[in-house]
Structure 1
Amino acid sequence: MKLFIQGRQQTFAVLKEKITPTDETVWFHCASLGEFEQGLPIMEAIKKHYPTYKIIVSFFSPSGYEIKKNTPIADAVVYLPMDTRASARKFVALAHPTMAFFVKYEFWPNYLFQLKEHKVHTLLISGVFRENQVFFKSYGNFMRKALRCFDHIFVQNKNSEVLLKDIGITNVTVSGDTRFDRVSHQIEQDNTLKFMDEFKGDSLCVVCGSTWPEDETVLLPFINTSATIKFVIAPHKMDIGKIDAFQKKIKLPTLKYTQLKDTGATLASTSVLLVDTIGLLTKIYSYADIAYVGGAMGNEGLHNILEPATFGVPVVIGKNFDDFPEAERLQSLAGLFSIKNAEECTQILTKLAKNAAFRDKAGMIAGHFVNSNTGATHMVLNYFKDNQN
């Protein structure tokens, strides 16, 4: 809460410092880190094709801001002030964007009204709509008015387009999710990590990425009874106390990444590697035979399943993923498996580990799923090219 309040107090000062009245700017608003990843391919494309534009990124949550406040893609990274008429008016005046992008679920009426008043082209990208949202209720007129401020809405699926058309909104394109474009390029990069080459060797490797304590609880029984499998655990939060506590529960030889240079133990004889640093997970996924992606056992929100899927790796997740259409679609194709408890987790991981044909087929489905859903970035960039003020 302290970061939430203090960060917003600095927003206008940062904009005054970083953005001049004569700058051409593009504004991206993201709720948190996941939405930033969806906006990033568009930011990169604009930076490449229009290098004179300054990019402003705003966040609602501290978790997104604190991780990306120094991202080189943006010229100014700020918290979005609360959605009041005065704050929205001041923010839009200082940012004076040529175009504004809101990502996925971000609908802030006063900001949208101000952008429309200033005739700023405003887009929603990677949007997802569901029948239970307020826009589709009898009492949702105010939010429908805000929704109509978007000049164009790019949605992830056909169902979203149909729902919007039912309330008279037709400026909609089914583009898919921009994250598919981002992760699909990762397979073309050099993903070599020497410590992973040594650690994995010829063993089967399960990579558990962006885990929370709820995920680690259901994974632990399988880990402790699978001495022939290599495990990489990359917690979402770098909480040293919690990582150390989890390490004590693991019965197999375990090392933390930050201990690699300080210990005489070899990676080849280590069964579990705890990654207690950030920035390595995407490349580590390229070594996985099976991936577990955290966030869906609790209520934190499912993390990025597309990162392992792009490498042709079958994905296991928790039970709470209703707001993640990409997970629902991949599950329906049998490239992703959802579990409710430790017993189910052990069952599906055992099957994937022991049945190579089953594992390979699920991985092939996952890889094809990513490859066949690219193109959203190109659609949005074309719109940007055609509609600059």
Structure 2
Amino acid sequence: MILKIYFIIEEILHILSFPFLLFLSIFKPLRKEIMPRLFPHSFEGKRVILHGASIGEVKSLFPIGREIKKMGIPLLFTSATINGVNTALKENFPAQLFPLEFSLSHFFFFRKLKPVAIIVSERDYWMRFLNGVKKRGGKVIVVNFSIARKNFFKKISISLLKEMNPRFFARNEEDRDFLLNLGFKEIKILPSLKSLSLSPSEEKLERDIFLAVSVHEEEFTFIKYAFEKLREKTCVQLVIAPRYMKRLNHLKEIFSEFNVSLYSERKENFDVLIVDTYGVLNSFYPRARAVFVGGSIAKRGCHDLLEPSSFKSPVLFGPNFWNQKDVAEVLIKENGGRVVKTPEEMVSVLISIFKGDENAPSGERAYSVYEKIRASARAGLEEIIKEVSWLS
């Protein structure tokens, strides 16, 4: 009943916004995102849908996608962003933007498609989309489930999923207990599948490089201050990858007193190298002596900790790791990573790493954490594949 009321209110709001969306579609940059979601293409026949919000979530579903593909079961990746869609297409998976939450858009999307199941990574729950799969006989499966801030509104939104009878694979016991308390049943614990989608280099080619990845605008000055202090004590280069490319100019301004270069310029000599190209971080991880992961100082939530760990890099991150708690706590315990709350604290930890102090976070220990999580995830993947193969 609650879900029906939700859909009625949502549909009214969407009808009111329809003229505005059509107006926005006049502009070319927005047209590419709005029109394919407003009037989506419909793939034909039975398919398993794999849905991720953007690049990271889509990548985490690749191990499942590869196994489904091996079994000869047709599949379809959907994403909320063009970057997410392109990431799946590069791996030769069929992919498209998922439909807007309009009845009309869903009519077009499901016109020929017969969903066997939808597998959603993490928290990108679009109720009408999931309900559309359920109404057509498909199973709803949620993997990599983790809710860091379990407030009243999160409880209400997750509770709406009950009518779809989803199968949850939670990342830790705390998330499993949260779901059990809401009345969901048969919750399995499965570490992040992202560990299975990584392809780390076997060789570690360390240079005096400090790598900062997925750095938000609020963290630029934090990194700059730490780098200034670090340069007073060691001849280190900084490679920094902003979370959003549209912040490149601001980032260049902040580091203007240094010899700044862009990755696309292919210059060898630099103090600070700004990564302005997607998909190239794997070439820097093997060369980095240490990696800072952004979102953790800016109160956005820490980004992926497993990727740098898989390249045997000690990992630094701020105190806001609530969305990566399961990985962060193990890294801290095993001394493969360290929480840094101030630039001074970061400098102190980095110097200990560069000097090779025994008590400093170790890349080998970080890699050991990655290997353990990967082994557990591989075992859990088999359970998901069994469920999908049975449904098909």
Fold conserved between structures, TM > 0.5? yes
Q: How does 1:204-219 map to 2 (within 5 A)?
A: 204-219=208-223
Corresponding residue number in structure 1 for 2:265? 259
CA distance in 2, matches of 1:75, 1:98: 16
> 1:63, CA displacement in angstroms?
6.3
Q: Secondary structure at the match of 2:364?
A: helix
Give the match's secondary structure for 2:307. helix
Q: What is the CA distance between 1:101 and its match in structure 2?
A: 1.0
Q: Give the drift of 1:37.
A: 2.4
- The runs of 4+ residues in structure 1 deviating greater than 4 Å are 1-6, 61-65, 84-90, 133-137
1:384 is paired with a residue whose SS is helix
In structure 1, distance between residues paired with 2:30 and 2:359: 46
Task: Give the match for residue 308 of structure 1.
Answer: 308
Could you say which residue in structure 1 is the equivalent of 2:41?
15
1:172-251 alignment runs, 5 A limit: 172-183=187-198, 185-187=199-201, 203-225=207-229, 226=231, 227-239=234-246, 240-250=248-258
- Paired residue secondary structure (2:68): helix
Aligned equivalent of 1:114:
132
User: What is the DSSP-based 3-state SS (H/G/I as helix, E as strand, rest coil) of the residue aligned with 1:119?
Assistant: coil
Length-normalised TM-score, structure 2: 0.79
Unaligned runs of 5+ in 2: 1-20
Q: Look up the match of 1:76.
A: 95
1:41-97 per-residue CA deviation (whole Å, 9 max, x = no partner) reads: 2223323432x61423131x56645x6485444323114412x55544553445422
Whole-Å separation in 2 of the counterparts to 1:160 and 1:136: 12
**TM-aligned CA deviation for residue 145 of structure 1:** 4.5
Instruction: Decide which of 57, 61, 79 is 1:58's aligned counterpart.
Output: 79
Distance in 1 between residues matched to 2:88 and 2:154, nearest whole Å: 35
Deviates more, 1:89-98 or 1:372-381: 89-98
Q: Which residue of 2 aligns with 1:105?
A: 123
Superposition map of 1:38-53 within 5 A: 38-50=60-72, 53=74
- Whether the aligned pair in 1 keeps the contact of 2:293 and 2:316 (CA below 8 Å) is yes
Q: Secondary structure at the match of 2:323?
A: coil
Label 1:319 to 1:159 Cα distance change in 2 as closer, same or farther (>3 A).
closer
Q: Distance in 1 between matches of 2:220 and 2:311?
A: 23
Task: Give the 3 Å change call, closer, same or farther, for CA 372–72 of structure 1 in structure 2.
Answer: closer
Tell me the SS of whatever aligns to 2:69.
helix
Q: Residue in 2 aligned with 1:334? A: 335
Asked if the contact 2:220–2:251 (Cα under 8 Å) also holds between the matched residues in 1, the reply is: no
Equivalent position to 2:175, from 156, 160, 167: 160
- Give the total of aligned pairs: 357
Instruction: Indicate how the Cα distance of structure 1 residues 343 and 42 shifts in structure 2: closer, same or farther if over 3 A, else same.
Output: same
Q: Does 1:385 align with 2:389?
A: yes
Residue 284 of structure 1: how far off its partner (Å): 1.3
Structure 1: give runs of 5+ residues left out of the alignment: none
- Asked if structure 2 preserves the Cα contact closer than 8 Å seen for 1:136 and 1:167, the reply is no
**What is the CA deviation profile of residues 145-181 of structure 1, one whole-angstrom value per residue up to 9, with x for unaligned ones?**
5235244211111222222223332232112110011
Contact 1:254/1:272 (CA < 8 Å) preserved in 2? yes
